[in-house]
Amino acid sequence: MLALAIGQSRATQRYEIKKLPDEDELTGRIIDLVSQYGRYGTPRITAMLHREGSKVNHIREWSVYGESRGPEWLGDKRKGEDFG
């Protein structure tokens, strides 16, 4: 416990997100597909990426898709609010 050794609370330590090497390419491809097929949702976009040969996880694709659409698209599912 490095945090305790230096006198900090464990709550002050945060996980750093590691950006994958193909993140920019994936983001660009998702944005291209969404701009071309605006009404398609994440399952269909994921299927299109799989057909192109991408080995993307559907959860990762949903996350990148949500980031490209903006935080209001994700909403707050716990409270049942819909911002999109």
pLDDT tens-place string over residues 24-62:
888 888 888 888 887 888 889 889 999 999 888 888 887
Residue with tokens 């698209």: 73
Question: Which range, 3-7, 47-51, 56-60, 75-79, is most confident?
Answer: 47-51
Give the whole-angstrom CA distance, residue 73 versus residue 67: 9
What's the pLDDT at 51?
93
Question: pTM for the complete prediction?
Answer: 0.58
